[in-house]
Structure formats: structure tokens, C-alpha cells
A and B are shown apart, each in its own frame.
Chain A
């Protein structure tokens, strides 16, 4: 074997989460009520479109969560930990320049003193080692080359989209048991209350077109430029996706047991239990959040530095710090949901079906799991989806303050933090900030739009459940 798989802590948790999601999906498919709610989510064009965007991000994140260490020619393991995403992006990581260069540039951004073969020293912007290196005369050929590459990319994107459309039609023909023409019509023509296939196809096609163009351009250029040490910004941004997703999801894993457990207990048992739990969360809420997180992160950092020797690679150390950050944000961020669940439980416990269960002598924990928990599920789901985007932003804020993820780890927060100095340069280095910002914006916007649709579908106050009552 010329590589050895490496399981970082967050990798294991991320894949466990994927497993949990698949189990949840299976339960949904078997429960008619849940299935109809999720169907309502997918029937909304907005829900479908944002789900596709999210799925692309998740796909990138998962590809980046399979790590390995390559075996070098001398039989030793490489110290560098690489992921499947690194492998897929291939040369993107390796083709670094000396320092800053603008997107699609052929020359470096800053002037340097260069010694000509004839011994003269001139100050000019040198040609990049990789960006546009294939061009004989950049001044003349650049525009044509970029145009050709863009067109090729678009063509490939369109081709792949069309073939995916075909494939989907063939697949659905088997599922719906109809002829191909009907399958095409059903996929393309919008019909109310059906799954929004057209949004799926359109969003997918747009993403594929963009991917095509970027891939085609990335063959000869740095599409989003390079940063201070000459690393490709596109590569960094893509690697940051995983960091954002991990923070957004794993933190929830820490939050949920605390929020659900304490919220339900406080609401159901009231009395001194409620007093203690309320005391804890009001105290926690009254400490400034950034201060609390900063203190905790600094403690963890000291711990990591003292145990430097127990980490075999930089990646492992950075990973432990990422995990610690998730736990810290989770431990300080459960109060909102707990408060919400407490209030809902206070309301539910007075309902007649809970009283009926008590009249049967059903025990407290059993009432909580069978009667209360299933009836607050929609609140939990809505708040998970809504908190996700907040957590992605929180990572950026904390890294900006300097208490976020490890500085060697790619993250949007670190990129934005670096942009503080880059924006002060002359001429301005704007591309790392814009790249980080647009990717983060896409993810957060998609998550928020998706959360809106989920809320509409699951919140009984908004939708159809009202129609049940006379």
C-alpha cells in the first residue's frame, strides 16, 4: 500500500454524523407525517435550490474528510497529511508562486529587482512560474486564451449537465414506470405539490457550468489569485469549506444533548430542577460570549502546547484544536435552544394527552421521551438548521479575533484575518477576502434559505396543521 489512512477526530465525528443523517433519512422515509413535511421542503423551488448548493458544499467537505499519509519512495510515511480533496485538486496545491498575484494574472503583483542575463538590474513584475506560463507573449495571447478556456469550460459544463439530465430521466423512467418522453416532461414542467425537479436541474446546471469554467481556467492560471506565500487562493477557499461545515455541524452535536436534556427537564419537572437549570443558563448568558470562548480557547491552547509531543503531525494538532473549538462553542451556546424547549415543554405538559399518560401512571422519563420529545422535534430541527449559518459566521469572527482555529488550518476566518493587512497594501490585495467572502456568503445564504423553507414546512403554526382544527 502506498498510503496509510489517517482518521482525525473530526473525520470520525463527521462520518458518524453522516451515518446519523442517513438513519434519519431512513426514518423519514418510513414515517408518513415526516415524509410529507420533507416532501413539502423539496417541492419548494427555493428549498430544492438551496439544498443543491448545500449538497455541493457537503460533498466538498466530505471529500476533505478522508485523510491519508502517502508513502514516500524511501518507504517512510510522508509527514504531510493529505485528503481526498487534495488528491482531486491535484496540482492546485503544488503550483505555488513566490507571493501575491491577482486572479488570472500572468505576472506577479509587486515589482521586484531582477537581474537580466546581461547583468543589468531592472525593477519589474516578474512572470509567474505557473500562472499563464504556457503563453509565449502574455500581452497578446492572454485574452484569447482565457476566452477559449472559458468557452471550453462552459461547453463541458453544459455537456455534463445534459448527460446528468438524461441519466436522471432514465432513472426516473424506471421509478415512475412511464416512457422517456413523459419522464422528461415530468422533470422539466413545474407542477404544484410535486418535487421541484426543475430547480434541481437548473441549480445543478449552473454549478456545473461554473465548475467547468473554473476547472478549465485552473489548468493554466490561478483563478482566484495567490496569497502572500504564493499559495493558490481557490485551493485555500475550497479547503476552508470543511472547517466551516465541521464548526457548523459538530458544535450542534455538543449543543443538542445539553439543550434538549436540560430544556425538557426544566420544563417538565419545574420546581427546584427548573430553578437550578435556569440559574445555570442565565449565569452563562450573562458572561460576554467572545470573552468566554477566548478564555476557554487559550486554556486549550496552553494544554496543546504542553503536550506537543503527543501529536504526530501538524494536521493532528490543528484538528484537536478545531474539535476543542466546537466543544467550547457548543458548551457556551446551548442556552437559546434550551430556553425555547423549556417554554414549549411547559406548554405541552399541561396538555390532556400528558395528563392522560399520568393518569395511567406512566413514569416521568417515559412521558418525556414518548410524549414531549416527539412533539418538540420540529423546534429542534428548525433551530439546528438556523443555527448552522450563525456558527459558520462565528468561526470567522473568532478567527478574526485570533481565538479561532489553528493558524495553519485553512479557514475563512483566517483568510479574513489576513485580509486586514492585505487591504492596507498598495495596490490593494482584494482577492483572498473576496474569495472567502463569496464562498461563505453562498454557504450561509443557502443555509438560511433552506432554514426558512424547513421552518415553513415543519412549524405547525405556519402551515396546514391549522386546517386540522374546525
Chain B
């Protein structure tokens, strides 16, 4: 008998239906992964199961059967008893999910079943902390969340979730906010705990790697619906998937084997969920769509061994030509001329310490050196806090350089005053990680693109309108974009605008600070493709900052691995990825799943 059985669940919030007719079941001890892009309704499904929907949201239809109880009819008091002891939840952001003014010991004890003595509670908390792998649990008990690292916080949160001995653990993107190496550890921990406690797991993720690693069964969600469920493991992988969306998602993930080839980007975006649908929700983005797709919603078709799919293509045996192999394009050879030269770059910050007048120097970037030729891409890889963003800010003159040299196109720019630097600013530009905070919400896109041109006096004022039009075309946006405000665009489109803004001043070096890590997989592929195209057309040199080694293989010529402000290893991409020398690089590679 299954532990959790969700049947035809629908959720409505205001005018939006984020979850529409979702059915699945989880057996005792089974791991079920809900995989989907943002806005696919996966988190809402989990919140509906725990009955913690945001205000205004309610379950409009469907049955949720958990451990023999009908959850949607359970009174709130019964639900409260169930949360914690029946099902527990861990969240994405350990930073905000722990109360900063309570020690972790208190917070875990709070989740313990009531009625035991203080000493027993204490012993239990220590046992839990030990179980999730926090060293010295006796002393760590009294730590406040800010005293713990990100990974430890996530472990403490898992301990809290385990305190009530839940039968089902719901994990909502538990590792998205963590570094690669930590991600592997936390996933391993969750898997081990689930196995040891025979606990069922409902995991929500957008990451195919995580799904592949964790799941017994995967459910793929798209636009509020489950489109495919398939078992994983026992010799079967996600590769067996049938639905065109799942297959496209897999092709969209960059890795070394696809170097130079175009990624399979899914055109368009997830449809908004405030409208009724008549046919298949994926139809207008699907390259195999045929006549029934637009008019009739597809029904479930069983493909055996628990594999089921919601697609019209199952009815016709060979409606789908075998997906053609991605067009292999040649890797652009890097140019000869060096455009950016960095020598012994050092950036230190002065930080106040706890004592009065106490100060301490933090060396964020500690003597890095590299060269970059035209049309070349250098990937700067490292975990958060390793100084990679500080380094590029110093190169761009946004953070004062403490020591060392930055030579842009033959001219030394480090140590210049703001006024002296200004003429050189058009040489290097930057694209940021978060497309939501990188565009001023109160400016029209046209004005955003114009700003750099007028500040740096690029092009004659009369030709700027035309320049904007050609920029928009180059990044694949419609012409009327210039008159709209940023909030009218999706994340991927915003990132295109940000790229256009950087290109507006015709830079020779483009610095991309994790430009795709805030985007969905399919959109990420669109942006990476765009960057490669632009490099080919414009001969741009790129510094590509990332924590994702997989993306590196796709577009970088060379890789520099950074750790604690230093470059620990540098070399051609293929060498680094296949024969890493430094133990840190080896560790990073081993953590990639």
C-alpha cells in the first residue's frame, strides 16, 4: 500500500491554477522526485499536500490520502499533529528557515514530540545532530544559526525535520542554495537517512542531476500538470523518457561532450497559468506537435514498469523522427592578440571586528594572474566566497585594486581615478547573475540600453536609435521591447536585455558573472547559445564566472579554478576536466552529479 496517494489534485490561487489535476503515489520507503522548471507548480503541489498553501490559495479538487487519512478534510488541529510526526518539510533557504535568535538546540527540541523530560530532549537533540553529521553535537547544540556554515544550517534543518520521526520527508530544492561540493554531501545525507529510517521522500527540484541521483521514481511537471512519471534505477535512467519535453530538458543541459555544439534550447516559455487550456500545454513549444496536440488534452498512456506519459505521440508509432543529433559546430579558435592581462591582482577589504576599533584585513583576491585573447573564453570556476566576483569587479574598476596590474587592450587601468578610467570603460562590460536586480524597474528598456552609450559617448546621438534596434535584433528580442519596462519580461528575456546593455558600448571583453544560474534549464540553454553566437560574430573575449563545471565544458577554452582568492589550477578545458591535478579541482569534479 502506498504511503501517500495524490489523486487529481488541483490548486487555485486568485485567477491562477498552478496545479491542475496532478496524481501520483509514493510507497513507503520510496523516493519520488518532482522535476520541473520554475512555475511548473511543483512547490505548490508540496504545499498543498502539507496544507500550507499561501493565503488565497486553496485546493479546488482532488484527494490526498496520507497513511490512511484524507488530508483535505482533516481539521487544522489534526493536520498540525500530522506535520512533523507524519510528514516533515525542509526548505531551500537555510538562511531564512531557521530562527536567528534561537539556538539550534532549542529549535530542534521544539520539533520533538511533547512530553519528555528536558534531559531526554537534550539527549535526543544530540543524537539527531550526530545523525545528520554535525561535529561536536554537545557544544553545537548551543550555537545560533549565524555561527553555522550554510551546509551545517541545512543539516540542522534536516535534524529538525527528523525530530518528529516523520514517515514522509518533503524536501523543496534542499540544495539549490548550496555549493556543488556541499550539495553532494547533503544529498548523500538525505539519501542515507531515508534508507536507514525507511522514510519516504518527496523531493522537489529543477535539476536533472539531482533527480537522477535521488529518485526511485521521477515525475516531470510542466505548466501545472504532471506530464510523465517514470521509474529510475535498476538499469533504467531518465534517458528512457518518452515525453518530448523531458528529452529536450536533458539535451539542454550543457556538458563537456557538447563543446561547441549548440544546446537544444526549447523555444518560447512556459505558458501563463491564468487561462484555460484546450490541448497539450507543451504543444506550441514542441517540435513534434501534430494535429491532435492543439485541440485535445493528451491522456495518460502506460508504457510499462510504472512508466506513464501524457502525450499524443504514443498513439502513433513513428510520428517522431528520431531526434536529430545536435549540429556540431566548430569550436571558435581563440585570437592571438591579448586583450586583457591580469598580473598579481590583489584586493583586500578592511573589516571591523568585534572589538572597539578592532580591524582586520580580509584578502578577497590574493594575487591572481591570467591572460585573455580576443574570441577566447576563460572560465573562472570556484565556490561561493572564493573571490571570483570581487576579482572581476576589480578588473572593471568597481572595487579598488590593492596591488597588481590590470591591462586592458594594452593600457594599464588599475589604480586609475574614476575620471582617468572612464575612457577605458567601454573596453570591458559585465552581465550579472540575477536578471531581476540587474535592470532598473523604473526605466524603459530603450533608456537602459541608451544609458551606457550616452555616458561613454559611443555612437553619434542621432544613430543611437538605430544601434538599439540592431542590438535588440542581435539578442533576439522584438523591436517594441525598447518601449517596455523590464517587469514585462521573463527571466531569460531580461538576461538578453542585460547582454544587449553590455554590448551597447561595443566592449572587447565581456564578463559574465554566472549569467545562467538564476534561469531554468531550457532558458539557460538559450542564453548560452546566444553568448557563443555573439562571441563568434563579434570576436568577444569572455570571462565566464561559474560554479557549474558542466557549463564550462560547453563554452570555455580555458579554465581557471579559484579557491580562497587564489587560482589553484589553470589550463585548457579538456585537460582540467579529464585530468585535474589539484585535489580541490578533483573534489569539485567528483561532486558533479
- Which of B174-182, B374-382, B417-425 lies at the interface with chain A? B417-425
| Complex contacts, A32 vs chain B, CB 8 Å | 485
Q: Would you call B398 and A470 a contact (CB within 8 A)?
A: no
| Complex contacts, A374 vs chain B, CB 8 Å | 440, 442-443
Determine if B437 is an interface residue (Cβ-Cβ < 8 Å): yes
Contact for A359 among B429, B440, B441, CB less than 8 A: B429
- Which of A50-58, A317-325, A336-344, A347-355 lies at the interface with chain B? A347-355
| Complex contacts, B440 vs chain A, CB 8 Å | 353, 370-371, 374-375
Determine if A302 is an interface residue (Cβ-Cβ < 8 Å): no
Q: Would you call A375 and B441 a contact (CB within 8 A)?
A: yes
Restricting to B497-521, which residues have a CB under 8 Å from any CB of A? Answer: 498, 501-502, 505, 520
Q: Would you call A360 and B456 a contact (CB within 8 A)?
A: yes
Q: Would you call B485 and A359 a contact (CB within 8 A)?
A: no
Sorting the interface of chain B by its residue count into under 10, 10 to 19, 20 to 34 or 35 or more gives: 35 or more
CA distance A357 to B425 in the complex (A): 11
| Complex contacts, B396 vs chain A, CB 8 Å | 359
Interface string of A30-70 (1 = CB under 8 A from B): 00110000000000000000000000000000000000000
CA distance A376 to B74 in the complex (A): 45
Determine if A361 is an interface residue (Cβ-Cβ < 8 Å): yes
Q: Would you call B438 and A352 a contact (CB within 8 A)?
A: yes
Determine if B315 is an interface residue (Cβ-Cβ < 8 Å): no
Determine if B38 is an interface residue (Cβ-Cβ < 8 Å): yes
| Complex contacts, A359 vs chain B, CB 8 Å | 396-398, 425, 429-430
Q: Would you call B430 and A470 a contact (CB within 8 A)?
A: no
Smallest Cβ distance from B524 to chain A, in angstroms? 13
Q: Would you call B455 and A352 a contact (CB within 8 A)?
A: no
Q: Is the interface of A mostly helix, strand, loop or mixed?
A: helix
Smallest Cβ distance from A192 to chain B, in angstroms? 10
Determine if A468 is an interface residue (Cβ-Cβ < 8 Å): yes
Determine if B584 is an interface residue (Cβ-Cβ < 8 Å): no
Q: Would you call A360 and B430 a contact (CB within 8 A)?
A: no
Q: Would you call A356 and B455 a contact (CB within 8 A)?
A: no
**A361 with B425: in contact, given A356-B430, A356-B432, A470-B39 (CB under 8 Å)?**
yes
CA distance A470 to B44 in the complex (A): 12
Among A32, A351, A360, which residue has the most Cβ atoms of chain B within 10 A? A360
Closest A residue to B507 by CB, please name it.
Answer: A359
| Complex contacts, B432 vs chain A, CB 8 Å | 352, 355-356
Determine if B491 is an interface residue (Cβ-Cβ < 8 Å): yes
Closest B residue to A366 by CB, please name it.
Answer: B455
Smallest Cβ distance from B112 to chain A, in angstroms? 34
**A361 with B422: in contact, given A355-B398, A370-B443, A470-B491 (CB under 8 Å)?**
yes
Determine if A181 is an interface residue (Cβ-Cβ < 8 Å): no
Closest A residue to B447 by CB, please name it.
Answer: A370
Q: Would you call A362 and B455 a contact (CB within 8 A)?
A: yes
Restricting to B392-429, which residues have a CB under 8 Å from any CB of A? Answer: 393, 396-398, 418, 421-422, 425, 429
Determine if B451 is an interface residue (Cβ-Cβ < 8 Å): yes
Contact for B418 among A360, A361, A370, A375, CB less than 8 A: A361
| Complex contacts, B63 vs chain A, CB 8 Å | none
Contact for A468 among B436, B456, B501, CB less than 8 A: B436
Determine if A95 is an interface residue (Cβ-Cβ < 8 Å): no
Smallest Cβ distance from B489 to chain A, in angstroms? 10
CA distance A24 to B441 in the complex (A): 19
| Complex contacts, B437 vs chain A, CB 8 Å | 351-353
Restricting to B452-504, which residues have a CB under 8 Å from any CB of A? Answer: 452, 455-456, 485, 487, 491, 498, 501-502
Among A465, A468, A469, which residue has the most Cβ atoms of chain B within 10 A? A468
Determine if B439 is an interface residue (Cβ-Cβ < 8 Å): yes
**A360 with B434: in contact, given A374-B442, A468-B487, A470-B38 (CB under 8 Å)?**
no
Among A361, A363, A470, which residue has the most Cβ atoms of chain B within 10 A? A361
Q: Would you call B501 and A361 a contact (CB within 8 A)?
A: no
Among A359, A371, A374, which residue has the most Cβ atoms of chain B within 10 A? A359
CA distance A210 to B491 in the complex (A): 54
| Complex contacts, A358 vs chain B, CB 8 Å | 398
Closest B residue to A375 by CB, please name it.
Answer: B442
Smallest Cβ distance from A244 to chain B, in angstroms? 33
Contact for B421 among A361, A362, A465, CB less than 8 A: A361
| Complex contacts, B421 vs chain A, CB 8 Å | 361
CA distance A33 to B440 in the complex (A): 13
Closest A residue to B511 by CB, please name it.
Answer: A359
CA distance A362 to B419 in the complex (A): 11
CA distance A361 to B487 in the complex (A): 25
CA distance A351 to B441 in the complex (A): 12
CA distance A352 to B439 in the complex (A): 7
| Complex contacts, B398 vs chain A, CB 8 Å | 355, 358-359
Closest A residue to B490 by CB, please name it.
Answer: A470
| Complex contacts, B439 vs chain A, CB 8 Å | 353
Interface string of B159-181 (1 = CB under 8 A from A): 00000000000000000000000
| Complex contacts, A352 vs chain B, CB 8 Å | 432-434, 437-438
Contact for B501 among A356, A371, A469, CB less than 8 A: A356
Closest A residue to B441 by CB, please name it.
Answer: A375
Restricting to A455-470, which residues have a CB under 8 Å from any CB of B? Answer: 465, 468-470
Contact for B455 among A353, A361, A371, A470, CB less than 8 A: A361
Smallest Cβ distance from A339 to chain B, in angstroms? 21
Closest A residue to B442 by CB, please name it.
Answer: A374
Restricting to A352-411, which residues have a CB under 8 Å from any CB of B? Answer: 352-353, 355-363, 366, 370-371, 374-375, 377
Contact for A353 among B393, B438, B456, B505, CB less than 8 A: B438
Residue contacts A-B, CB under 8 angstroms, 17 given: A33-B485, A353-B437, A353-B440, A356-B438, A356-B498, A359-B398, A360-B425, A360-B451, A360-B452, A360-B505, A361-B421, A361-B455, A362-B451, A370-B440, A377-B442, A468-B436, A469-B436
5 A-B pairs closest in CB distance: A470-B38, A352-B438, A374-B442, A360-B452, A352-B432
- Beyond the given A359-B398, A371-B440, could you list 14 further A-B residue pairs with CB under 8 A, ordered by the A residue number? A33-B442, A352-B437, A356-B430, A356-B432, A356-B438, A359-B397, A359-B430, A360-B451, A360-B452, A361-B421, A370-B440, A374-B440, A375-B440, A469-B436
